[in-house]
Amino acid sequence: MKRSALILGATGLVGKQLVHVLSSMDEYSELRLVVRRTGDFTNPKIKEYIIDMNEMNQHPELFHVDDIFCCLGTTIKKAGSQEAFRKVDYTYPIEAARLGIENGVKHYLVISSTGARKDSPFFYSRVKGELEETLAGLPFKSVSIFRPSLLVGEREEFRFGEKLAEWVYRPFAGILPGKLKKYAPVEGHVVAASMAITAIKPKSGVRIIESDEIARLGMVKN
């Protein structure tokens, strides 16, 4: 049976790759992209909906799909404040999840971060932890939470801090031992591939997928 999906953050580093992966898969017949601006996708499976993210609840019909992929994410610097950051990384994903519940979505897949913890002393990690906890309490059949470490790849905007970390850590990525593997940088296209393969092989309940497992799943898909 063909599946339908809605993707949030489809023009970002992971989201854009995810759109290309899913549109090439026979399992999906329709992809709905909720975006602020067009991504100029040409595959006939893809339908773009340019809406104000603050008004998602005015478009409940868009959320009548099988799966929701949430690839939303920003930085405090880009957002401009902690409040604005929280809106993108917590409020929007939860609003989308609740609309999904109301419309029978079976599987919610979301990008979080390594170190996400609701009691973290770091604001970024704390918001991600709160997001995970809220999603875990919603009545989806399946919730898949992806915790990539440093995300690398070509972004539309230049992020100096992330580029610096990439230059420092990339040479050591392949030799990190044991539990440290989950801190290795991971390519955006690998995260996208891991999300796609997890979507078509869902497990009931809440599944936390750390960065090293993301890499393993993504490489299998590629």
CA dihedral 73, 130, 87, 210 (to 10 degrees): 10
How far apart are the C-alpha atoms of 173 and 4, rounded to whole Å? 35
Tokens coding 60: 């409940």
- Which residues, 6+ apart, have CB-to-CB distance to 181 below 8 Å? 211, 212, 215
22, 31 Cβ separation under 8 angstroms: yes
CATH number at residue 73: 3.40.50.720
Q: Residue 171 sits in which domain range?
A: 3-221
Q: What is the pLDDT of residues 88-106, one digit of tens each?
A: 999 999 999 999 999 999 9
* Choice between 186 and 70, residue whose per-residue pLDDT is larger: 70
Residue pLDDT, tens place only, 60-88: 999 999 999 999 999 888 999 999 999 99
Q: Does residue 4 register a pLDDT over 90?
A: yes
Active centre residues (catalytic): 124, 128
pLDDT at position 161, please? 45
Task: Work out whether strand 151-152 and strand 142-147 pair parallel, antiparallel, or are unpaired.
Answer: unpaired
How many domains does the chain fold into? 1
Q: How far apart are CA 155 and CA 96, in angstroms?
A: 24
Output the pLDDT for position 220.
65
- 24 alpha carbon, distance to own chain's centre: 18
Cβ–Cβ under 8 Å, residues 102 and 140: no
Q: What pLDDT is stored for residue 37 in this prediction?
A: 83
Q: What is the torsional sign of CA 146, 150, 156, 161?
A: positive
Label residue 164 by pLDDT band (50, 70, 90). very low
Q: Is residue 142 a contact partner of residue 108, using CB atoms and an 8 Å limit?
A: yes
Pairing relationship of beta strands 67-70 and 3-8 according to DSSP bridges: parallel
